[in-house]
Amino acid sequence: MALVHYPVYNRRQEVVATAITNLDIHDIARAARTYGVESVLIVTPLERQRWLLDRILRHWQQGHGAKAHPNRSDALHEVHAMGTLDEAVEWVKVRCGQEPLTIATTARPFRQAVAYGVLRELLMAGTAPAVLLLGTGWGLSREVVDGASYVLRPIMEHGRYNHLSVRSAAAVILDRLMGDR
Amino acid sequence: MALVHYPVYNRRQEVVATAITNLDIHDIARAARTYGVESVLIVTPLERQRWLLDRILRHWQQGHGAKAHPNRSDALHEVHAMGTLDEAVEWVKVRCGQEPLTIATTARPFRQAVAYGVLRELLMAGTAPAVLLLGTGWGLSREVVDGASYVLRPIMEHGRYNHLSVRSAAAVILDRLMGDR
């Protein structure tokens, strides 16, 4: 999984880099671990944010957090910082020895979007590694969505209110793609 | 839905009252709204916590937050503070004119636990109002689980790692019970 802080939209539809949210990292890492995701890649190009992220991860991977909350430490062990989305995809490619599929997620309707069941089968077949892209802020930029191998349909496509936090969306998407059935 | 801060376990299996977490309220209110849940009841017996909760809710329901983030304000409109779980159930009963079913959630295996599909059908049938009980901390006390009309099975019953945040668990449970299929 990749949690993308750039390029994403802000509420005025401008492409921006969002700030890291401590609880995003924890919740998404725990969900990833629960559903058997191998790694969580936190994508941000901002130096100061990378520094903050390193501090958080070190606390939980090696510092006081590791002793006090072994379950959380466990989940955060496979969280890594990446400067760009390309770097994240390249990292997965090197690690898996194969070009990964990229799966974009969006709360907007998108003509080519695929159903969860379709992707679930594709992932279960295990023919290629895959990176699930989650956007912070007001979602992944159009360019990222257009460039992905697949785009997942919005979670509650026909609902009138569709403003899940990225933490909630991550959990629901993982459950639909990889949860017990 | 009721987010229960007492009686729940701490990590030493003692029954305690946990502290309110601002982001729990936001994430769960937004998920509740997305899936069509009528109200979110925050259960805490602690006076100081009720005061804090009132301040948070007022900010979003009437204050600056209501103007700056109308989507969030919208979600938080049906969030209410309750002193006890009995008070929450009574509130639903008065509001619906009928005794509600109570549905406990737990990450522990529980002999009488029912599958999501069974409860989904029951809720869809709409014969009685229902209150979904979510525990903070290390989960709802045994007494609450034993007293509920139904107990849902753990989310990833057969997984080796089962430590979703209550925010993530809430979203997944709502999706399984009320999500698009």
d(CA A55, CA B104): 37
- A-chain residue closest to B167, CA distance: A168
- List the domain range (segments joined by +) for residue A24: 2-178
- Please list every residue in chain A whose beta carbon sits closer than 8 Å to the beta carbon of residue B30: 163-165, 168
pLDDT top residue among A111 and A41: A41
In the predicted structure, residue A20 carries a pLDDT above the cut 90:
yes
pLDDT class of B74 with cuts at 50, 70, 90: confident
pLDDT per residue as tens digits for the range B31-58: 999 999 999 999 999 999 999 999 999 8
Residue A102 makes CB contacts below 8 A (sequence gap 6+) with A89, A130, A131, A133, A147, A148, A149, A150
pLDDT top residue among A73 and A88: A88
In the predicted structure, residue B65 carries a pLDDT above the cut 90:
no
Residue B47 makes CB contacts below 8 A (sequence gap 6+) with none
In the predicted structure, residue A181 carries a pLDDT above the cut 80:
no
Q: Find out whether B123 and B178 touch, Cβ atoms under 8 Å.
A: yes
- What is the reported pLDDT for B143? 96
In a domain, B132, yes or no: yes
- Please list every residue in chain B whose beta carbon sits closer than 8 Å to the beta carbon of residue A159: 34-36, 180
* Dihedral Cα B56, B57, B58, B63, nearest 10 deg: 80
Q: The tokens 């910082």 sit on which residue?
A: A81
Mean pLDDT value across residues B134-156: 96
- What is the reported pLDDT for B159? 87
CB contact (8 A) between residue B164 and residue A36: no
In the predicted structure, residue B158 carries a pLDDT above the cut 90:
no
Mean pLDDT value across residues B156-160: 86
Q: Find out whether B161 and A34 touch, Cβ atoms under 8 Å.
A: yes
- What is the reported pLDDT for B71? 79
Distance from CA of A29 to the nearest CA of B (A): 9
Q: Find out whether A53 and A83 touch, Cβ atoms under 8 Å.
A: no
- Please list every residue in chain A whose beta carbon sits closer than 8 Å to the beta carbon of residue B169: 171
- What is the reported pLDDT for B75? 81
In the predicted structure, residue B181 carries a pLDDT above the cut 80:
no
In a domain, B177, yes or no: no
Question: Which positions 151-180 of A are in contact with B (Cβ < 8 Å)?
Answer: 155-159, 161-165, 167-172, 175-176, 179-180
Mean pLDDT value across residues B53-70: 85
- What is the reported pLDDT for B164? 95
- B15-16 and B8-9 strand pairing: antiparallel
Mean pLDDT value across residues B155-176: 93
pLDDT class of A76 with cuts at 50, 70, 90: confident
CATH of the domain at A74: 3.40.1280.10
CB contact (8 A) between residue B155 and residue A175: yes
Cis peptide before A7 (omega within 30 of 0): yes
A31 at the B interface (CB within 8 A)? yes
- What is the reported pLDDT for B25? 95
pLDDT class of B180 with cuts at 50, 70, 90: confident
CB contact (8 A) between residue B172 and residue A171: yes
Please calculate the CA angle B155-B158-B163 and round it to the nearest 5 degrees.
50
Q: Find out whether A177 and B175 touch, Cβ atoms under 8 Å.
A: no
In a domain, B118, yes or no: yes
For all residues of chain B together, what is the average pLDDT? 93
For chain B, the domain total comes to 1
pLDDT per residue as tens digits for the range A83-106: 999 999 999 999 999 999 999 999
Mean pLDDT value across residues B126-140: 96
Low-confidence winner among A124-128, A167-171, B81-85, B133-137 (lowest mean pLDDT)? A124-128
Burial of B65 by CB count in 10 Å (0-12 exposed, 13-18 middle, 19+ buried)?
A: middle
d(CA B39, CA B32): 8
CB contact (8 A) between residue B171 and residue A176: no
pLDDT top residue among B6 and A108: B6
Burial of A131 by CB count in 10 Å (0-12 exposed, 13-18 middle, 19+ buried)?
A: buried
C-alpha torsion sign, points A76, A78, A83, A84: negative
CB contact (8 A) between residue A168 and residue B27: yes
Residue A34: count other Cβ atoms within 10 Å of its Cβ: 26
For all residues of chain A together, what is the average pLDDT? 93
- Please list every residue in chain B whose beta carbon sits closer than 8 Å to the beta carbon of residue A71: 161, 163
Q: Find out whether A152 and A105 touch, Cβ atoms under 8 Å.
A: yes
CB contact (8 A) between residue B165 and residue A27: yes
- A-chain residue closest to B33, CA distance: A161
